[in-house]
């Protein structure tokens, strides 16, 4: 036992053990000693305990003792562990349920930790998830701001940057130096390293980006947001080749997983106001979260859009799924904020990330696409970061390669912008 105690001392710092409540730690320590758990077994049971804590489920120390008592004389340590692992898997496979009360919010990032910095860091490049392994739109990105004030439970930004938010003092000059081919079109996003609109025109970033768009009419510049901070777009002359896009989720998901963001109603009203100004809008259902009332709640959003907008105002609508890189999963567990976003069945995608099984994705995407049936052929629909097989089974078609996808996307978007300009000039 003494030898195992020293082993356990080495195991603990490599796991989430110290982040667990005291009763849970005592129970797991005792169980590990009695069962002489290997490091992998100890790591697995502490991860499960951490998940149960974050999901608001009954703790292992509450129900495992009964399992051990009834199984002690006829079950091995391995069989007991398998029962615990199976219970965890059953919870992951079941559609998550959000009861009436909101989960506790994480601590909001201090807006005071904002820095204006000079540097030679490149702000322009390919979307970091672009790949030939999935059907991708070849999005380019501009990192105007690094970090986000929002607290979305599933966000990858939290693993890339520290608590400080950085604005690039040389943004305008760097935008001026971006080398673009005048004979081709580009789709460039600004919401990869931060929310595009939450900061408004702080440090002149929107001024600089709008100037860039105006000077490059072959660029479709996208501002993707979960905010309703549209003051700049209502008060200024906005280039026609700019599109404002909103990520949409049911209010129950916003309340529990998209902390500090604008409500669903605020996002929809902001989009309506921007469209009334003549600026094109778009919508991203990304991530579509699998929960007990997902079909009812997402369909309700679709019907709102069908009633609030006309196809000529909307450039595109995308569908995407919850996807985690392993460092994000580790950070979510380390932070330990209440969340059910990780209570999902996970499989590995072509990039080695963790996501829903194909059958769940196909069910979600095909249902959403069918609900938008009256807009088929009038609005551009696509999937974000998905395999060709999922496209085929969800939308009924797939592009042969990413370049063809990109060209069709830009052809449709730019043509709709051009038609609107012609109508306005009549």
User: How far is it, in rounded angstroms, from Cα 363 to Cα 345?
Assistant: 15
User: How far is it, in rounded angstroms, from Cα 18 to Cα 379?
Assistant: 51
Architecture of the domain spanning 115-425 = Alpha-Beta Horseshoe (3.80)
- Percent of the chain that is helix, strand, coil (3-state, to 5): 50, 15, 35
Tens digit of pLDDT for each residue in 7-59? Answer: 999 999 999 999 999 999 999 998 898 888 999 999 999 999 999 999 999 99
Per-residue model confidence (pLDDT) at position 157: 78
- With a pLDDT cut of 70, the percent of the chain lying above it is 93
Per-residue model confidence (pLDDT) at position 125: 93
Please count the other Cβ atoms lying within 10 Å of the Cβ belonging to residue 223. 27
Distance, C-alpha 266 to centroid of its chain: 19
Could you tell me the pLDDT band of residue 353, with boundaries at 50, 70 and 90? very high
121 half-sphere exposure, CB direction, 13 A CA radius: 14
User: Which of 35-39, 132-136, 298-302 is the most confident on average?
Assistant: 298-302
pTM of the predicted structure, to 2 decimals: 0.94
User: How far is it, in rounded angstroms, from Cα 138 to Cα 140?
Assistant: 6
CB 240 within 8 A of CB 272: no
Tens digit of pLDDT for each residue in 371-387? Answer: 999 999 999 999 999 99
Please count the other Cβ atoms lying within 10 Å of the Cβ belonging to residue 401. 12
**What are the angstrom distances between the C-alpha of 305 and each of 90, 136, 177, 262, 361?**
35, 25, 39, 17, 22
The phi-psi region of residue 270 (left if phi > 0; otherwise alpha if psi is between -120 and 50; otherwise beta) is: alpha
Q: H/E element holding 408?
A: helix 402-425
Looking up tokens 């002359």 gives: 237
Per-residue model confidence (pLDDT) at position 115: 86
Per-residue model confidence (pLDDT) at position 109: 56
Q: Domains of the chain: which residue ranges?
A: 2-93, 115-425
User: Does 75 score more than 90 pLDDT?
Assistant: no
Tens digit of pLDDT for each residue in 179-212? Answer: 999 999 999 999 788 999 999 999 999 999 999 9
**What are the angstrom distances between the C-alpha of 236 and each of 171, 219, 231, 239?**
20, 19, 9, 10
Measured distance between the N- and C-terminal CA atoms of the chain, rounded to whole angstroms: 87
């Amino acid at each position: 036992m003494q030898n195992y105690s020293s082993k356990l001392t080495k195991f603990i710092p490599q796991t989430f053990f110290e982040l667990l409540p005291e009763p849970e730690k005592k129970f797991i320590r005792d169980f590990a000693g009695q069962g002489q758990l290997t490091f992998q077994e100890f790591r697995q049971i502490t991860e499960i305990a951490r998940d149960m804590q974050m999901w608001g489920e009954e703790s292992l120390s509450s129900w495992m003792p009964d399992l051990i008592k009834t199984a002690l004389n006829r079950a091995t340590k391995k069989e007991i562990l398998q029962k615990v692992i199976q219970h965890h898997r059953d919870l992951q496979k079941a559609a998550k349920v959000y009861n009436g009360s909101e989960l506790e919010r994480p601590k909001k990032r201090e807006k005071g930790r904002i820095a204006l910095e000079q540097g030679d860091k490149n702000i322009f490049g390919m979307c970091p998830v672009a790949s030939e392994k999935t059907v991708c739109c070849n999005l380019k990105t501009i990192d105007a701001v690094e970090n986000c004030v929002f607290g979305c439970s599933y966000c990858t930004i939290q693993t890339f940057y520290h608590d400080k938010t950085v604005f690039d003092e040389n943004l305008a000059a760097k935008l001026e130096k971006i080398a673009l081919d005048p004979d081709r079109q580009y789709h460039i996003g600004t919401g990869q390293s931060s929310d595009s609109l939450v900061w408004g025109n702080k440090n002149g970033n929107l001024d600089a980006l709008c100037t860039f768009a105006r000077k490059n009419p072959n660029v479709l510049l996208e501002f993707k947001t979960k905010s309703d901070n549209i003051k700049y777009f209502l008060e200024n002359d906005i280039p026609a080749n700019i599109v404002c896009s909103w990520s949409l989720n049911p209010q129950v998901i916003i309340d529990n997983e998209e902390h500090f963001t604008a409500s669903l109603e605020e996002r929809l009203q902001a989009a309506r106001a921007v469209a009334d100004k003549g600026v094109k809008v778009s919508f991203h259902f990304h991530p579509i979260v699998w929960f007990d009332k997902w079909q009812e709640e997402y369909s309700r959003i679709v019907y709102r859009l069908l009633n609030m907008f006309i196809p000529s105002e909307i450039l595109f609508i995308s569908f995407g799924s919850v996807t985690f890189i392993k460092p994000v999963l580790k950070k979510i567990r380390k932070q330990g904020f209440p969340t059910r976003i990780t209570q999902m069945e996970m499989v590995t995608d072509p990039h080695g990330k963790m996501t829903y099984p194909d059958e769940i994705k196909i069910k979600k995407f095909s249902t959403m696409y069918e609900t938008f049936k009256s807009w088929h052929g009038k609005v551009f629909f696509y999937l974000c970061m998905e395999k060709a097989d999922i496209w085929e089974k969800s939308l009924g078609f797939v592009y042969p390669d990413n370049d063809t996808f990109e060209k069709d996307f830009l052809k449709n978007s730019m043509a709709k912008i051009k038609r609107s300009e012609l109508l306005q000039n009549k």
